[in-house]
Amino acid sequence: MDLDDERVAKRRKTMLEDDHGVGQQTTTEMETLPHEIIVDILSRLPITSLVQFKFVCKGWRALAQDPLLADMQLSWKAPTTNPCLILHCDFPIRNQLYFVDLSVHNHDKDKVKRLYVPFQTSMPEFDVVGTCNGLLCLSDSLYNDALYVYNPFTIDFMELPKSRQYSDQEVVFGFGFHPKTKQYKVVKIVYYRNTSSSSYSRARRVVYPQSDVQVFTLGTSAWRSLGKVAYQLIRRPSEALVNGRLHWVSRPRRYYPARRLMSFDLEDEQFREVPKPDCGGLNRCNFHLCVLRGFLAAAVYGNYGKLEIWVMKDYNVKESWIKEFSIGAYMPKCLKQNLVRDRPLKIWKNPSNGKVVRLLCLLDNGEILLEYKNRVLVSYDPKKGKFTDLVFQGIPHWFQTVVHEGNFNWINTPS
């Protein structure tokens, strides 16, 4: 059952309760337990079980809405727990979000369910800017104007105020939370050029020489400009939030061809360079960043689809980078056929630079979760060297996977 269908079922159940008085005088054994114990038990349930829990009766719905529940979910969540995967599909026409909860241990773990996006009529085309503590940040992919922060499992959302726009611009986003300040921030790095001149560059890639770093703190009313940034970052959202810092990779420049690993501290709002691993591969556009069990990681592509995974065990210490995994070339069965005949005409708005495989996360059984060509999810057992194609009922044909922490978290903002 999709989450929007469950909302209809919930309304029907409420009508029955009101008509027949069902559930108004019945007290379950669970409700006789101390409130803190009940909330602690609920905080350990998979998100799919909690969503169903809300629809049992009014009393249980009130328990699910207790702010203490979200706090406990965030406090005890271990980095080794299997995540919830958000699948962003923008083919063939409208954008859709789906999810599969890998933490459940029943038949539901093999089912993909569609998520309800309450503001989709006002923003039918969107990109996933980032995910943090159960919250998604979505941006308008058509006009780069609207931004929403949204919990897909509580349906709570907020539209952010409009920020300054430029007539000819490219935007790099980031979304994260700092554990010291307890603040959520959206970072918008705008690269732009003046269009007063009628002449346009005939270069293969348009150069945007000017920049403007804009920051919005959730709970405030306006964006703040931090001025220019000295780095040209790759045009994709931040892929890693570690130690309260967002991370990107810089583009090579004429007099500095090597790529830099850049961070933005959400506490003091400063850009800093992070040391790279000595693998020799980060000077080319053949890698991406990731978070593996709380550590910053880099997936470096080799020849013939091979993948090396480097992990920084002690943050910001260059010598702590180690090559933890080496993954050989693999092609899932369904991709061995000719992809050209059924490949969609549109191009992904957040492309993976044409690479076959993308590193997602580590599972609690020690296996590595991979995404192949926006089509297939695969687990890899590094001990046995074995690949397993994962099959999910209802999975879309084309998607981009977001590793998400499903919970009932929300931000308390002043009214």
Q: What are the pLDDT digits (tens) for 89-122? A: 977 666 899 999 887 665 566 789 999 999 988 8
**Domain 28-70 is of which CATH architecture?**
Up-down Bundle (1.20)
Q: What's the CA gap between 414 and 36, in Å, rounded? A: 26
Tens digit of each residue's pLDDT (9 = 90 or more) over 294-351: 999 999 888 777 899 999 999 999 999 999 999 999 988 878 664 544 544 343 444 4
Rounded (10°) angle between helices 35-43 and 67-76: 50
Strand order in the sheet with 368-372: 357-362, 368-372, 376-381, 386-390
Q: Among 165-169, 294-298, 355-359, 392-396, which range has the highest average pLDDT?
A: 294-298
If we measure between CA atoms, which residue out of 299, 352, 291, 265 comes closest to residue 131? 291
Domain 76-194+205-402 has CATH 2.120.10.80: yes
Strand partners, 171: 190
Residue 296 token pair: 């910053």
Instruction: Please state whether the predicted TM-score (pTM) of the whole model is above 0.85.
Output: no
With cut-offs at 50, 70 and 90, classify the pLDDT of residue 5: low
Residue 22 DSSP label: T
Strand pairing class (240-242; 224-227) = unpaired
Residue 84's pLDDT band (cuts 50, 70, 90): confident
Predicted pLDDT at 351 = 46
Least confident of 82-96, 157-171, 342-356: 342-356
Please return the burial class of 251, using the count of CB atoms within 10 Å of its CB with bins 0-12, 13-18 and 19+: middle
Where is mean pLDDT largest: 81-85, 134-138, 208-212, 229-233?
Answer: 134-138
**Residue ranges covered by each domain of the chain:** 28-70, 76-194+205-402
User: Residue 283: left if φ>0, alpha if ψ -120 to 50, beta else—which one?
Assistant: alpha
Q: Where are any strands of DSSP class E within 106-249? A: 113-114, 126-132, 135-140, 147-150, 157-159, 169-178, 183-192, 210-217, 224-227, 240-242, 245-249
Q: With beta carbons less than 8 A apart as the criterion, state whether 179 and 244 touch.
A: yes
